[in-house]
Every structure is written in C-alpha cells, then in structure tokens.
Amino acid sequence: MDHTPTAAQSKWLCVPQTIRLSGSGSLEVNQQLETLASQGAPQCWGSMNPDQTDRSSHIWSIEETKFAHRTMQIQFADQKQEFNKRPSKIGRRSLSRSISQSSTDSYSSAASYTDSSDDETSPRDKQQKNSKGNGDFCIKNIKQADFGRREIEIAEQEMPALMALRKRAQGEKPLAGAKVVGCTHITAQTAVLMETLSALGAQCRWAACNIYSTQNEVAAALAEGGFSVFAWKGESEDDFWWCIDRCVNVEGWQPNMILDDGGDLTHWIYKKYPNMFKKIKGIVEESVTGVHRLYQLSKAGKLCVPAMNVNDSVTKQKFDNLYCCRESILDGLKRTTDVMFGGKQVVVCGYGEVGKGCCAALKAMGSIVYVTEIDPICALQACMDGFRLVKLNEVIRQVDIVITCTGNKNVVVREYLDRMKNGCIVCNMGHSNTEIDVVSSQLAQTLNYVASLHLPTFDAHLTELTDEQAKYLGLNKNGPFKPNYYR
C-alpha cells in the first residue's frame, strides 16, 4: 500500500494520539482529533502487535505509519513518559529503543513506579505499611508489590527443585522454631527461597549483601507478604550496615541461624552482638569471600558455631559460578555499554569458576580473551582452554575490556587505570567492590585540588605542614590528609 500523502492530506500530518497503558497491561487508545476531525483530517493509526510485547515491562511495540507525526504518552498509574516521534530514515527504531531502554534497564530502579520526589527521599525517612498494617520493613516503595509478585511467580517456574521441596515438606514444618537472619542478593530467586523457608516453618529477616543488586519490586512483594526486609537499590554504606542491624537487633526476636553471602552479616554479629552466638546453631555461607573470612575466624579460634560451606558444593560451583556467570556477564555488559564483542580484546583477571564462565561467553562472541592468574593449576586450565596467559601490566594499554573476578583487592590499581586506552570498559564480577581501586590517593589529591580552588572566594589561607610535622603525623606534606572512609 502506498503511504505517500496526497496534496489534500499533506496539511494534516500532525494529528496527536494518546496511548495509555494501565497497570494491568490493558490498552486504551484515545485519538485526540480536536477540531481537526470536523475538517476532514485523516486518521493516522499505528498497528499494535501483541506478539511483540516485552514480558518484563508490559510495553507494546508500536509500528508507525511512515508519514505521521504524533505525540505518544505511555502512562503507568501516576507517571507519564512522553516521546515525540518525527519522520526519519530509521522509522520506528528510535521510539522503540527509547521505550525499552527506560523500561527494561534494571526495572528494580522503579522508574515506572516512583516519581522524582520518592527517588529523593531515603526509605529510612518514610514510614510505610503493607495492606495488613505491618510496617516492620524498610524498602523503596511498597506500591511495587504487584509487579514484584509477578516476577517471583516467573522465578518459581525456573526453580522446580525448591518448589518440589516446598510442596513435599510444608505440611510437616521441619523448620518450625528456626529464626533465620539472611544477608544475600534480594532478587526474585531469593524470594522463592525465603518463601520456601517460611512455608517450612522458619521465621525470616533479610538484608541485602550488595548495595546495588536489590530488585526493589521484589523487596516490595516480600514486604507485602509479611517478610521483614530491609533493602533497596542504591544504598549508601551507612544504609547497608543500618539494614543489617535492623535485621539483627530486634526486641523480642533473636536469630538462631545465619544465611550469609560475603560474610558481612556474620562479621557484624561478631563485632556488635557476640553474645548472640550462644543461641545461634549454625552459619550457611554461599560465597568464596565469606568462606575465606570464616576460615580466618576458625584459624584464630573465634568460630564458635558450625558453619556450612555452600560455595564449594558442586551445584554452586558449576551452576551458579560457571553457567550463570557465563550468561550474566554478557547481559550486564550489553545493558550497560551496548557494545559489540566481536574482535574486542578482553582481559579476565582470575580463572576460577566465575572467570571460566566469563571467558567462555566472551570467546563465543568472538572476543580475543586474555587471562591473568596466580594459581598454576587454573593457569594451566586457561592455556588448555585456548586462552593466552598474561600479566595485567603487559596488556593493559591495548585491551578494550577489563573484567575482575578474583575476590581479592586492588587487582586494578590506579596505575593501570591511567594507562588504559580511552573508552576502556572496566567491570567487576567478584563479590566485593575492592578489586578495582576507584578510591585512590591520586583521586584524593584531585579532590583536595578542587576544594582548594574555592578558598580564594573566602580570602582563606591554608597552613602548610613542615617536614617534621608531616613526618610526625605520618602524612604526605601535600596531602591527601583524609582516610578513604572520610565523607
């Protein structure tokens, strides 16, 4: 069909339409013809293809006519996102890209549920209650619970073993009396675990082991279901420890089991509430970082309760560390950078199970992969798998992507960051945020310099340390003067 407008139609190329999506996904299309309808304006409709729906965001793909200029509004509940579409050579691509990027890039950021005022307010500063009047939780927005519930239901379909256990044993309540305090990533999969523990008779209180990984809508669904959850995406370091403390320090409730990821929860209890270990029956630790910390406690004679090393189990090593990381590394890099991997030079620091998964995924995408390793056995495995074993300083100038997955600290130091090519991508697949030295003395020097530029406005004059004073304080004469944790 020829879509070229006739002379009579050419003056009607701007007929506004509004497309409204309700929270349940139903579609209402209102064409605002205003006074143009009475003057014979043509109706310019796009086709809605239900086969192109995005399951995570429930936003329909819109196939536009070639000559219409329209303003489209996509509205969830009380928020609007407006996109202006003009004729271009790329057709509908620019609109669909804008929609998908804002709606599917980490839905846990709650862009479609939370207005700007909510984003600016810390969850610690607002009191929320679920539909039953319970307020023993601290999350981003309880209104996201319905969407989080749908994500949990999808996750249940991918976790048949846990669901089978729930169905088989929930009548017996084998965990009756268990009071589990957990500190893990709060995702839909974790929610399935928590609800299974509850179905088997356990009481749970949960915090996040990572300040960035919490799915806000899942946390909302758990809070709506009666769970005491203290987590949201984008916590500060102070928020992180506050949430853990809220899980542990509760009047009339004391945990007797710990489920930890990274050892932070165990460390906090040892540091702040050591007497609690008199009633704690055991610790379950699922990460290599946390296991190392438990071994350190054991060697020091401070591990006073049994601890289970989940990290070294076959299913954890192969499925979680190897196979899951093999898929998540590509998804994470694609979402954040949108680059092609074919022909890119990548160095992966560490060839454990996580490193193996990363290398396999990137090699399959056509990347040139280098590996750094300290263990001769893992190094030999890397060579036998077809990867070139190098030292990081040998390739840092030429690589396009640097991936750390060692569980160590200061793997990528400031010196390496300075030598990288412009546009080099640096990311971490390990547990902690210490593998990449993003807070270094050179950065501190820069902060001091920026601060000093403001002093002349106040006619301020800095006092300089003498060499003897600097030596006495153990500081560089020219700074930095503050420790890394100073804020």
Q: Would you place residue 167 in the very low, low, confident or very high pLDDT band (cuts 50, 70, 90)?
A: very high
Which CATH fold topology does 129-315 show? Rossmann fold (3.40.50)
**Average pLDDT value for residue range 105-129:** 61
390 is in an annotated binding site: no
Higher pLDDT, 401 or 66: 401
Q: Strand, helix or coil at 85?
A: strand
Residue 300: per-residue pLDDT: 92
Residue 477: per-residue pLDDT: 76
**Average pLDDT value for residue range 162-175:** 93
The type of residue at 391 is K
466 is in an annotated binding site: no
All CATH 3.40.50.720 domain ranges of the chain, comma separated, are 334-428
CA distance 236 to 233: 9
Residue 36: per-residue pLDDT: 44
Residue 73: per-residue pLDDT: 44
373 is in an annotated binding site: yes
Residue 248: per-residue pLDDT: 96
**Average pLDDT value for residue range 428-443:** 74
CA distance 121 to 114: 11
CA distance 387 to 357: 13
352 is in an annotated binding site: yes
Rg of the chain over CA atoms, in angstroms? Answer: 27
234 is in an annotated binding site: no
Q: What contacts 314, CB < 8 A, 6 or more positions away?
A: none
pLDDT at residue 104 greater than cutoff 80: no
pLDDT at residue 95 greater than cutoff 60: no
**Average pLDDT value for residue range 284-289:** 91
pLDDT (tens digit per residue) in 21-35: 334 443 333 444 444
Residue 480: per-residue pLDDT: 67
pLDDT at residue 257 greater than cutoff 70: yes
Residue 87: per-residue pLDDT: 40
Residue 14: per-residue pLDDT: 40
Residue 475: per-residue pLDDT: 74
355 is in an annotated binding site: yes
pLDDT at residue 389 greater than cutoff 90: yes
Percent above pLDDT 90 for the chain: 57
pLDDT at residue 244 greater than cutoff 50: yes
Q: Would you place residue 143 in the very low, low, confident or very high pLDDT band (cuts 50, 70, 90)?
A: very high
**Average pLDDT value for residue range 75-83:** 43
pLDDT at residue 51 greater than cutoff 80: no
172 is in an annotated binding site: no
CA distance 296 to 303: 9
pLDDT (tens digit per residue) in 191-220: 999 999 999 999 999 999 999 999 999 999
CA angle 431, 182, 256 (to 5 degrees): 135
126 is in an annotated binding site: no
pLDDT at residue 227 greater than cutoff 80: yes
CB 92 within 8 Å of CB 63: yes
The type of residue at 267 is H
286 is in an annotated binding site: yes
Percent above pLDDT 70 for the chain: 72
CB 183 within 8 Å of CB 262: yes
Residue 438: per-residue pLDDT: 73
**Average pLDDT value for residue range 157-162:** 94
Residue 443: per-residue pLDDT: 58
334-428: CATH, from 1.10.3720.10, 1.10.10.60, 2.60.40.420, 3.40.50.720: 3.40.50.720
Using N-to-C axis directions, what is the helix angle for 376-384 and 353-364, rounded to 10°? Answer: 20
Task: Tell which residue, 138, 277, 120, has the closest CA to residue 207.
Answer: 138
Per the prediction, the chain carries an average pLDDT of 79
192 is in an annotated binding site: no
Q: Which residues of 163-197 are buried (b: 16+ CB within 10 A; e: fewer)?
A: beebeeeeeeeebeebbbbbbbbbbbbbbbbbbbb
pLDDT at residue 176 greater than cutoff 70: yes
Higher pLDDT, 134 or 6: 134
pLDDT at residue 103 greater than cutoff 70: no
All CATH 3.40.50.1480 domain ranges of the chain, comma separated, are 129-315
